[in-house]
A and B are shown apart, each in its own frame.
Chain A
């Protein structure tokens, strides 16, 4: 790893951690969502540096784009500012911070000691390789994933629209 790419690596990591920290501590959910977009974009940059351009693109399009738009949409639709959002009772804060510090140290240690030696020149994976694997070796998981998305979509319609359930029940009553 050259000095230049190490600097970019550190910069992206700092952006990701800073965004995540501000996401947790901002009092307004819209600010939280926007800081999380920063974290996701920094993560996409890290994917690019790790030789995964396809994942980086999907990260920006799906996470920073679609999922965060969905979040912002719900925040603004429901007008959700909580007056008392961050937990203010002491035991909960102490528990949260202690858990975080312990878990963080554990995971950092596991990562730092569990990671193997740095590999040679990072081979960029191409979209062709990923597409080929998806439609050959991973064809069945791919189909199951599309089914999962379909089921989730129908489930959301049923959950979020009680009037739909009522309409269906009325139709059943009329039929019987």
Chain B
């Protein structure tokens, strides 16, 4: 039968790679954010799998803190999206180049 820990780690790798694809492939900044969320989720999955492997509670506590940071990140990120949209009337990441020289 399959080993749940190794299987979960492999799934976490697949989800992380899909998140990277989303960031590289999409232009809509919101979908880019969703892909970042997907990568955070993959990391959380790996944390829980390792926590179970070592019979430790710490993996789940790290996931808890990572979720707190993810919530803060989403709030700030969407705030920036709204502010950028007010300036540029667009959410295309290729058009947001104000800091490029």
A-B contact pairs, 23 of them (CB 8 A): A16-B11, A17-B15, A39-B38, A59-B67, A71-B30, A78-B85, A80-B85, A82-B92, A85-B26, A85-B27, A96-B21, A99-B24, A103-B16, A104-B17, A111-B10, A116-B5, A116-B54, A125-B57, A130-B64, A134-B64, A151-B72, A155-B76, A162-B83
Partner among A67, A82, A107, A119 whose Cβ is within 8 Å of the Cβ of B74? A67
* Chain A contacts for B33, CB-based, 8 A: 71
Closest to A152 in B: B72
Please tell me if the beta carbons of A86 and B27 are within 8 angstroms of each other in the complex.
yes
- Chain A residue nearest to B58 in the complex (CB): A133
* Interface band, chain A: 35 or more
> Which residues on B sit within 8 Å (CB–CB) of A115?
3, 5-6, 9, 49, 53
The answer on a CB contact under 8 Å between B91 and A46 is no
Interface of A, secondary structure class, is helix
- Across the A-B interface, how many residue pairs have beta carbons closer than 8 Å? 245
Contact of A58 among B5, B64, B78 (CB under 8 A): B64
Q: Which residues of B contact A (CB under 8 A)?
A: 1-22, 24-28, 30-31, 33-35, 37-38, 41, 44-46, 48-49, 51-55, 57, 60-61, 63-65, 67-76, 78-83, 85-86, 91-92
Q: Give CA–CA (A106, B4) in the complex, Å.
A: 19
Are the C-beta atoms of A70 and B61 separated by less than 8 Å?
Answer: no
Q: How far is the CA of A99 from the CA of B13 in the complex (A)?
A: 13
A85–B71 alpha-carbon span in the complex (Å):
25
Partner pick for B25 among A74, A84, A87, CB 8 A cutoff: A87
Give Cα A55 to B17, complex, Å.
Answer: 23
Chain A residues at the B interface, C-beta cutoff of 8 Å: 1-3, 6, 9-10, 13, 16-17, 20-21, 23-24, 29, 32-33, 36, 39-40, 43, 46-47, 49-52, 54-55, 58-59, 62-63, 66-67, 70-71, 74-75, 77-78, 80, 82, 84-87, 92-93, 95-97, 99-101, 103-104, 106-108, 110-112, 114-119, 122-123, 125, 129-130, 133-134, 138, 141, 145, 148-149, 151-153, 155-157, 159-160, 162
